[in-house]
Amino acid sequence: MKSLSYFILFLFCLNDFSDGKLEYNSEVYPNFESDFLVKKDSISNIPKRFLEFQKNSKGYCLVNGNSTAKQIALSFDDGPTEVSQKIIEILNKFNAKASFFWVGERIKGNEDIIQLAKENGHLIANHSWNHENGFSFSNQDLWETQIANTFKEFSDYGIQDAAFYRPPFGAITQKQIDFLATQNIKTVLWSITTMDWDANQNTDDLMFQKFKEHIHPGAIVLMHDADYGNLDSKLKDLENILKFGKSQGYEFVTIAELKP
């Protein structure tokens, strides 16, 4: 079952990289294909290159926080949407803080959700302007078409949070990470994915089971505040994630609050 999941994820990623505009570069990522097929390193379910980025980026690329601190940073991508509100209500029940990586072009019209996230102490960060895969973009293009304009939109809508960027699909190069570091932007990846975007893996309690299996100090957990099917399961699993994490002595914090 697991190898099938990796294969599906691999196909998903291949699809991202083969739409005519983007190409898999074997010089940049010689192990790209096998990273998605083989479980490597101590942190499960993530491409090995994430750990290489973190190691090479002097604190400007986060895959996880301090591995001795009982903290977990839940993160939700692709909003704001009406799902964001449901998620915030659940987080609040557990007095948990989280990080929302929002898409610039989706900000307008969602002022109420922005307000709700802000007044409850959640962090709002940058997930590009229109969710394009920026893997093959030049630094300048990535900055101008995806990142700077999203920060500008944030600022127009009163969002002043710390400068964190999560690349759509986790697709980014070391060169881009290094460039963003010169702009004082930290790239945020993840150490646990719940696969909540995948309709084959977001039913029943599968997302909670993944979390439970891979929970570790300093975890950054990838979820989505968008409805990719089986939303009720996601919301129920989120409650179970919070309940279980708390029962194990973890504190749920924003990315900015993770200990280095």
Nearer to Zn ion, 77 or 237 (CB): 77
Q: Which of these, 78, 77, 87, lies nearest to 232 by C-alpha position?
A: 87
Looking up tokens 């977001």, which residue turns up?
202
**Nearest distance, CB of residue 240 and Zn ion, angstroms:** 23
In angstroms, the CA 123 to CA 254 distance is: 6
Determine, following the binding rule CB under 5 A, whether residue 77 of this chain makes contact with Zn ion: yes
Stretch that binds Zn ion, among 107-115, 162-170, 178-186, 237-245 (CB under 5 A): 162-170
Cβ distance to Zn ion smaller for residue 77 or 153: 77
Minimum Å gap between C-beta 168 and Zn ion is 5
Nearer to Zn ion, 78 or 225 (CB): 78
> How far is Cα 161 from Cα 157, in angstroms, rounded to an integer?
12
The closest residue (CB) to Zn ion is 77
Q: Which is nearer to Zn ion, 78 or 153 (CB)?
A: 78
Binding residues among 164-183 for Zn ion as defined by CB under 5 A:
168
Query: C-alpha dihedral over 36, 237, 235, 118, to 10 degrees?
Result: -80
- For residue 71, what are the contacts with CB-CB under 8 A and spacing of at least 6? 65, 217, 218, 250, 251, 252, 253, 257, 258, 259
Answer yes or no: are the C-beta atoms of 127 and 168 closer than 8 Å: yes
Give least dist CB 260 to Zn ion, A.
Answer: 25
Sign of the C-alpha dihedral computed for residues 84, 132, 229 and 218 taken in this order: negative
| 78 contributes a contact to Zn ion by CB under 5 A | yes
Which CB, 77 or 196, lies closer to Zn ion? 77
Give the total of residues touching Zn ion (CB under 5 A). Answer: 3
Enumerate binding residues for Zn ion (CB under 5 A). Answer: 77-78, 168
